[in-house]
Amino acid sequence: MPFVTADTQKRRYDVIIVGSGAGGGQSAYTLCMEGAKVLMLEAGRRYSVTEAPMFRTPELAPLRGAATPDKPFGFYDATVDGGWSVPGEPYVRDSEEDAGRFEWWRARMLGGRTNHWGRISLRNGPYDFKPYTRDGLGFDWPIGYEDVAPYYDKVEMLVGVYGSNEGLENTPDSPPGCLLPPPKRLVNDHLMAQRAGRLGLPVIPAHRAVLTQALDHRRIPAQLHPGNLRAQKILAEDMRARAPCLWATPCGLGCAVRANYQSTAVHLPPALKTGNLEIMTDAMVHEVTLGRDGRANGVHFIDRTTGKQEHAAARVVILAASACESARILLNSKSARFPDGLANSSGKVGRYIMDTVGSSVSGQIPLLESLPPLNEDGADGHAVYVPWWLYREQIAGKLGFARGYHIEYGGGKRMPDHGTGAGLEWLTGGSYGKKFKEDVRRYYGSFVGFDGRGEMIPNDQSFCEIDSTVKDKFGIPVLRFHWQWSDHELRQAAHMQATFGAIIEAMGGKTREPVKTDGALAIAPGGSIIHEVGGAIMGADPATSVTNRWNQTWDVDNVFINDGAVFASNADKNPTLTIMALAWRASDHILERLRRKEL
């Protein structure tokens, strides 16, 4: 039976996976396809992509679907029991000031945050694994691009990622057969590409985990699972069951036809098909338990349906609960051997939390006014993006900040919503009446938005620890966050603003508000980009890192951390694709060690 409870679970599994998102989903897929018996524990409720409210329109929702504290990304967003704040599951911030505030987004549902994410799927490049070597800041990873590249290939083929190969610096190409064709550009994409191109910026197809065409179910399964006919058959069938994009409805609602990546659409169905995966939802893991031999023997969890503490047992424990939640579990796993938390002999668990540097500018473009009716839903935006393009100037020390950013861009005649027609006075001079209706028609679809997504360098002031007093509704001690940006991030945010202002001007438009020259005002609060990684970084030295090159904790050899916690740096590239690639790589390693009876 694929879905189990504390009462119906088996006595022991090969592997327990805590968490069901990108890291947990990929780990379950890889392990189960190769025959390992896996129990996946998810703190939230069971969720199926068939719940996705596709095609539902704002007038059917409360408040026309507007964001509320209950649904911070809008009523139809595919987040269940989550947001910036989860009822009964508080966290503590060391500072409420903008500069030192950390926001922690969580979801409590099968598939976790992969159900609503932006699907942007970028590979880290060679520089991104060796940042210390390149500029003397932060930490090198104990692995390089060449170690992860084969797994990027596999993940792209499995989940389906559109994009192109451009041969640009530190922006890796994929081998043939990995990427799907990018979607057609919208009018505003063409304009942005033309005008930003004149400024010398490379505007290239975005990379997103959306099926612009059906996956090749005849070729890919054999490439991903050579010699494993059963896995090939399961995957081929599953690929046939995934429909290509319908070119409608936002990906963030979830996709009932499984045209984009969410763990519940891509990883879990074939993993369940193997018969090797059992899933327990409503299981809030809070502790990895140790046996007398000093190895992990399972996890303690609270059954949310009964409130009782339960135990599950396995030969190997994988934490993939999200970077901070995995760190929390380790820190709460105290024993005589590990008084400061499991696998924390280095004192580095919870340290070096990094988010992405974010800053945004929007503008209005007269050339895009009063265009004829166009269906501009596309693949839910992001047909193009701008990868970081100033590597040379940066390493020469000309920019005043050490790491780069990429530009995410959007515009077009998206479905009108409760914000349409709002805030137009700067263009209309305050029209109302028939003139206002004409103005809204004129300006509809003429707005563009730029979001910078940049690298943050790990620092000693950005970390989480267990709060000494506050507990959640289950009685589990909660995290306390500390946060601080360095000048590198603040200057980078100011650079984003200047760049976006220049592009909007080059497009013949004007910015909604003056661009900010003070990076401290331009930067989004820590955590708010929802790319938090670190907290159990990998390294080459057990004294200064939590895991080795295989996501395996130095201190306990059958505990692996297959989520963003192991990131030793947080490149501007969105972390999800790398989380999956590392999880696949670590899971291959676990399989090998299991076969050799070393775990």
Partner 1 sequence: MDRRTTLKWVLAASASWPLLGGSRVRAYSTPTQLGYGTDPDLAINYHPGELWPLTLTADERRLAASLSDLIIPADDRSPSASAAGVVDFIDEWISAPYPKFQIDRDIVKNGFGWLDAEAQRRFGRKFCDLEPAAQITLCDDICDEARAPAGLKEAAHFFARYRDLTAGGFYSTPIGRADLSYIGNTPLAKFEGPPPALLASLGLLPVGLK
Q: Is 558 one of the binding residues for partner 1 (CB under 8 A)?
A: no
One-character DSSP codes across 348-406: -TT---B--EEEEEEEE-GGGTTPPP----TTTS-SEEE----HHHHHTT-SSSS--EE
Q: Is 60 one of the binding residues for partner 1 (CB under 8 A)?
A: yes
Closer by beta carbon to partner 1, 32 or else 193: 193
Nearest-approach distance from CB 404 to partner 1, in angstroms: 23
Strands (E), 233-348: 277-280, 283-290, 296-303, 309-319
Q: Can you tell me which of 5, 12, 35, 64 binds partner 1, judged by CB under 8 A?
A: 64
Q: Is 433 one of the binding residues for partner 1 (CB under 8 A)?
A: yes
- The candidate with the shortest Cα–Cα distance to 215, out of 254, 181, 251, is 181
Q: Is 99 one of the binding residues for partner 1 (CB under 8 A)?
A: no
Nearest-approach distance from CB 82 to partner 1, in angstroms: 7
Nearest-approach distance from CB 318 to partner 1, in angstroms: 27
Nearest-approach distance from CB 513 to partner 1, in angstroms: 10
Pairing of strands 384-386, 463-471: unpaired
Cα angle, residue 45 at apex, residues 42 and 49 outer, rounded to 5°: 100
Is the CA virtual torsion 446, 447, 451, 452 positive or negative? positive
CA 585 to chain centre: 18
Q: Which segment (123-131, 377-385, 538-546, 583-591) binds partner 1 by CB under 8 A?
A: 377-385
CA–CA gap between residue 23 and residue 38 (Å, rounded): 14
SS3 content of the chain, % helix, strand, coil (to 5): 30, 20, 50
Per the CB < 8 A criterion, the answer to whether 359 and 366 are in contact is: no
Closer by beta carbon to partner 1, 185 or else 589: 185
Site for partner 1 in 197-236 (CB under 8 A): 204-205
Q: Is 335 one of the binding residues for partner 1 (CB under 8 A)?
A: no
Cα angle, residue 95 at apex, residues 94 and 97 outer, rounded to 5°: 170
Q: Can you tell me which of 233, 311, 337, 441 binds partner 1, judged by CB under 8 A?
A: 441
Site for partner 1 in 67-96 (CB under 8 A): 67-76, 80-87
Site for partner 1 in 344-363 (CB under 8 A): 360
Task: Determine the straight-line distance between the first and last CA of the chain, rounded to whole angstroms.
Answer: 26
Q: Can you tell me which of 2, 126, 421, 542 binds partner 1, judged by CB under 8 A?
A: 421
Q: Is 484 one of the binding residues for partner 1 (CB under 8 A)?
A: no
Closer by beta carbon to partner 1, 173 or else 237: 173
Tokens of 46: 């069971």
Q: Is 65 one of the binding residues for partner 1 (CB under 8 A)?
A: yes
Q: Which segment (48-56, 149-157, 223-231, 591-599) binds partner 1 by CB under 8 A?
A: 48-56
Residue whose structure tokens are 């064709």: 181
Q: Can you tell me which of 238, 376, 408, 555 binds partner 1, judged by CB under 8 A?
A: 376
Nearest-approach distance from CB 562 to partner 1, in angstroms: 27
Nearest-approach distance from CB 74 to partner 1, in angstroms: 6
Q: Can you tell me which of 28, 148, 191, 448 binds partner 1, judged by CB under 8 A?
A: 191
Tokens of 148: 């992860």
Sheet holding 92-93, edge to edge: 92-93, 477-482, 463-471
Nearest-approach distance from CB 86 to partner 1, in angstroms: 8
Q: What size, in residues, is the chain?
A: 599
Binding-site size for partner 1 (CB under 8 A) equals 90
Tokens of 297: 């023997």
Nearest-approach distance from CB 362 to partner 1, in angstroms: 8
Q: Is 304 one of the binding residues for partner 1 (CB under 8 A)?
A: no
Q: Can you tell me which of 12, 230, 334, 418 binds partner 1, judged by CB under 8 A?
A: 418
Q: Write the Ramachandran bin of 10: left for phi over 0, alpha for psi from -120 to 50, otherwise beta.
A: beta
Q: Which segment (267-275, 340-348, 441-449, 469-477) binds partner 1 by CB under 8 A?
A: 441-449
Q: Is 48 one of the binding residues for partner 1 (CB under 8 A)?
A: no
Bridge-partner residues for 57, per DSSP?
none
Q: Can you tell me which of 12, 46, 56, 217 binds partner 1, judged by CB under 8 A?
A: 56
Closer by beta carbon to partner 1, 399 or else 506: 506
Q: Which segment (114-122, 273-281, 410-418, 582-590) binds partner 1 by CB under 8 A?
A: 410-418
H or E stretch covering 480: strand 477-482
Residue whose structure tokens are 């018996």: 37
Per the CB < 8 A criterion, the answer to whether 75 and 89 are in contact is: no
Closer by beta carbon to partner 1, 192 or else 402: 192
Secondary structure class of 133 (helix, strand, coil) = helix
Q: Is 422 one of the binding residues for partner 1 (CB under 8 A)?
A: yes
- The candidate with the shortest Cα–Cα distance to 580, out of 54, 41, 154, 72, is 154
Site for partner 1 in 157-176 (CB under 8 A): 164
Closer by beta carbon to partner 1, 23 or else 410: 410
H or E stretch covering 179: strand 179-180
Site for partner 1 in 241-280 (CB under 8 A): 245-249
Closer by beta carbon to partner 1, 451 or else 557: 451
Per the CB < 8 A criterion, the answer to whether 465 and 500 are in contact is: no
Q: Can you tell me which of 434, 460, 469, 597 binds partner 1, judged by CB under 8 A?
A: 434
